[in-house]
């Protein structure tokens, strides 16, 4: 993944933020939307593209665009930097390949310990019953 190429391919759009805010909110577009075309990106290899398309299937639009938005701050510049960080971390997380689990076997001592505790519990319960009159 080449971050510099990806940063150049991002498309930004400033939108008016929702919610209360008075006069200032009605004339300032501080909310930032970023869209990233995963399939046509030059910063990703084919393997990375296929992995991202599989992992981020629920976050992609019908056009295959990954769209993120941020309106946390009143500043458009800080919202832009926040949404860029969020996008890059999302891409990084999606590209992580989990390690395969190696099946392990319980040790002999742990097996013996488990069986001893089972026998002890069984004896305890057997001793709770009423004595037989034979």
Q: pLDDT (tens digit, 9 = 90+) per residue, 71-130? A: 888 888 999 999 999 999 999 999 998 899 999 999 999 999 999 999 999 999 988 988
Q: Where are the domains of the chain?
A: 3-95
pLDDT at 32 over 80: yes
What pLDDT is stored for residue 19 in this prediction?
65
pLDDT at 10 over 80: yes
Q: Does residue 112 contact residue 96 with C-beta atoms inside 8 Å?
A: no
Q: Does residue 30 contact residue 75 with C-beta atoms inside 8 Å?
A: yes
Backbone torsion region of residue 23, taken as left when φ is above 0, otherwise alpha when ψ lies between -120 and 50, otherwise beta: alpha
Q: How far apart are the first and last CA of the chain?
A: 81
Q: Give the residue from 34, 114, 38 showing the smallest Cα distance to 81.
A: 34
Q: How much is the mean pLDDT over the chain? A: 88
The CATH number of 3-95 is which of 1.20.1250.20, 3.40.50.1820, 3.40.50.800, 3.30.160.20?
3.30.160.20
What pLDDT is stored for residue 27 in this prediction?
74
Cα 57 to Cα 38, 43, 60, 65, 124, distances in angstroms: 11, 19, 5, 10, 55
pLDDT band at 131 (very low <50, low <70, confident <90, very high): confident
């Amino acid at each position: 993944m080449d971050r510099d190429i990806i940063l150049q391919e991002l498309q930004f759009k400033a939108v008016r933020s929702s919610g209360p805010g008075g006069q200032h909110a009605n004339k300032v577009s501080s909310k930032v939307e970023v869209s990233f075309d995963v399939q046509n990106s030059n910063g990703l290899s084919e393997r990375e593209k296929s992995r991202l398309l599989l992992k981020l299937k629920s976050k992609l639009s019908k056009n295959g665009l990954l769209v993120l938005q941020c309106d946390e701050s009143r500043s458009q510049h800080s919202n832009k930097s926040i949404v860029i960080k969020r996008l890059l971390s999302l891409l990084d997380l999606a590209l992580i390949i989990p390690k395969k689990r190696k099946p392990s076997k319980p040790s002999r001592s742990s097996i013996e310990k488990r069986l001893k505790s089972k026998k002890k519990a069984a004896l305890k319960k057997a001793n709770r019953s009423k004595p037989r009159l034979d």
